[in-house]
């Protein structure tokens, strides 16, 4: 049974009050323009935010514009981002994405999903993050935390992040789209862990169906 809008409102209101908007992308969006948010988000795939934040800062200090990053040597970029996962592919993607921004978009980061996913290294999650955090557009970025928590709550029953995104778009009122990623990511890192979540400390414990949860604390 799908949750009511009232239950969704209540759940997100509690999480927003508990966690605030304290994710890496939320912080970066307050000081970075769309290009820097885009590059940081591409780098963040399968990497810890703490590592991504430091590496992004160092990289973008040297290459602050699409023009400078497009002309960078791959080896020089790798030397800066080496501590991050998949640095070889990521270095290639961010350089090529910068080149395409110059060639196709006059050096500006586009503000539509259809245009963003044309960029190397940009899938739906990265594109939706840029839309939400840089352009304040209604979108639902679905990463591992959003996918896991949406299923645990019993809001959706999906197997892939893309399926989750589509299901949430149909279920969650649009007024909540921009805060959903931030609240779920924060909650997933502090309370709703992948293994043995802290259900005893969870303020939305009574609102959660605990789907797929075998062990909890």
Number of domains observed in the structure of the chain: 2
Domain match, 38 and 126 both: yes
pTM: 0.91
Among 85, 114, 133, which residue terminates a domain?
133
Residues 94 and 162 in one domain: no
Q: Judge whether 182 lies within some domain.
A: yes
Q: Is the pLDDT of residue 180 over 90?
A: yes
Of 117, 133, 149, the residue at which a domain comes to its end is: 133
Residue-wise pLDDT for 71-114, tens only, equals: 999 999 999 999 998 999 999 999 999 999 999 999 999 999 99
Per-residue pLDDT reduced to its tens digit, 126-173: 999 999 999 999 999 999 999 999 999 999 999 999 999 999 999 999
Sign of CA dihedral 24, 161, 180, 139: positive
Residue 188 is part of which domain span? 5-22+140-207
**Cβ-count burial of 196 within 10 angstroms (0-12 exposed, 13-18 middle, 19+ buried)?**
exposed
| Beta strand extents in 96-202 (DSSP E only) | none
Write the CATH number for 83. Answer: 1.10.340.30
pLDDT in tens, 33-83: 999 999 999 999 888 888 999 999 999 999 999 999 999 999 999 999 999
Q: Examine the fold and report which residue of 99, 118, 133 is the final residue of a domain before the chain moves on.
A: 133
């Amino acid at each position: 049974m799908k949750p009511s809008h009232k239950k969704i409102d209540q759940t997100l209101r509690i999480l927003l009050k508990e966690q605030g908007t304290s994710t890496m992308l939320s912080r970066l969006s307050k000081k970075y323009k769309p290009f820097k948010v885009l590059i940081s988000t591409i780098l963040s795939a399968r990497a810890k935010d703490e590592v991504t934040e430091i590496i992004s800062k160092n990289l973008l200090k040297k290459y602050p514009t699409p023009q400078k990053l497009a002309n960078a040597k791959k080896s020089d970029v790798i030397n800066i981002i080496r501590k991050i996962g998949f640095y070889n592919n990521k270095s290639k993607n961010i350089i090529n994405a910068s080149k395409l921004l110059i060639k196709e978009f006059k050096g500006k980061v586009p503000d539509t999903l259809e245009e963003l996913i044309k960029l190397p290294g940009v899938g739906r999650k990265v594109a939706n993050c840029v839309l939400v955090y840089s352009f304040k557009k209604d979108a639902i970025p679905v990463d591992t935390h959003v996918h896991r928590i949406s299923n645990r709550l019993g809001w959706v029953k999906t197997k892939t992040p893309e399926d989750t995104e589509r299901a949430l778009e149909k279920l969650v009122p649009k007024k909540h789209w921009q805060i959903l990623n931030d609240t779920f990511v924060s909650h997933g890192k502090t309370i709703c862990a992948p293994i043995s979540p802290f259900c005893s400390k969870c303020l939305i414990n009574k609102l959660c169906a605990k789907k797929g949860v075998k062990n909890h604390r």
